[in-house]
Chains A and B, each alone.
Chain A
Amino acid sequence: MDKAPAGDFSQAVTIKAQEFDRLVAKLGFETRDSGDLLAWFEFEGKIITRTRRSKGSGDLPMQHSIRQQLKLNQEEFKKAIDCTLTREAYIDILRVKGLLPKIPTPQDKTSS
């Protein structure tokens, strides 16, 4: 598959290694070097999502698989690559998707 023209991120199938590294650093992922670069997102002591990239500086295929590992849709993933998605926003996304416990509201407290 050819790379999509610039600006048409929806059809891109690769992600650059630098973009991956920036993304995990921006969102505060923990990383470990084990031949591949492993990255995982921790929240309140729990490992919520994980991803990895092979060593090397070239383009990484399977951007949609990396996106799925991070539990992001295309728009959210684009923001993450562009470094416009903050860690707090990522946490909110994971909360909405049920991967993090919801913040109890005052109504929840009074009803219990």
Chain B
Amino acid sequence: MAKVLEIYQFPKPPAVQRENEAVAYEREFLEVPLAHLLPAEYVTVSDLGPTVPDQILLGSLRDGRLRVKAPIVVKCRHEDPHVIAEAVEFDEFGFGKNLSEAVSDLQHAVTELYFTLEHEQDRLGPDLQQVWTKLQQVIFRRP
């Protein structure tokens, strides 16, 4: 005797109705005034500007030839219209329109500095000799 399996499939809700509900909900949400939820001083400011952390730790120079052994401390700040990223221990800095650009510029600068000092290490003055020593402590050149 053949078994008869009864399969129950619940009808799907009509798609058109669901989309209308979502649109209607969104419209209602957008009409809700939010200004009273914000501090008064923020409501009048049209551009708060990018927020940058005071300090970040840089773990990569984005150059395959070099590896960062110990994180590089980078001080960041916003000096309108630039964002500045500064590696104080090397007296090197980068800047850009946002933090990402500033850090990228700094990475390029530190990489350039490393290879320049490496190439000229036999004829560095006392200050740059110290910078070269510090660079070697935190950056490793891949073989």
Whether A47 lies near B125 (C-beta < 8 A) is yes
Whether B112 lies near A69 (C-beta < 8 A) is no
With A47-B123, A49-B125 given, is the CB distance from A65 to B112 under 8 Å?
A: no
Min Cβ gap A99→B in Å is: 6
Contacts of A45 in B (CB 8 A): 123
Whether B112 lies near A71 (C-beta < 8 A) is no
With A49-B125, A99-B126 given, is the CB distance from A54 to B105 under 8 Å?
A: yes
Q: How many A-B residue pairs have CB under 8 A?
A: 55
Q: Which of A1-50 contact B (CB under 8 A)?
A: 1-2, 13, 34-36, 38, 40, 43, 45-50
- In which size bucket is the chain B interface? 20 to 34
Cα A62 to Cα B68 with chains together (Å): 25
Cα A100 to Cα B127 with chains together (Å): 10
Q: Which residues of A contact B (CB under 8 A)?
A: 1-2, 13, 34-36, 38, 40, 43, 45-50, 52, 54, 61-62, 65, 68-69, 71, 98-100
Contacts of A49 in B (CB 8 A): 125, 127-128
Most A CB contacts (10 A, CB to CB) among B84, B86, B91, B125 go to: B125
Min Cβ gap A87→B in Å is: 16
Whether A52 lies near B91 (C-beta < 8 A) is no
Whether A47 lies near B84 (C-beta < 8 A) is no
Whether A61 lies near B79 (C-beta < 8 A) is yes
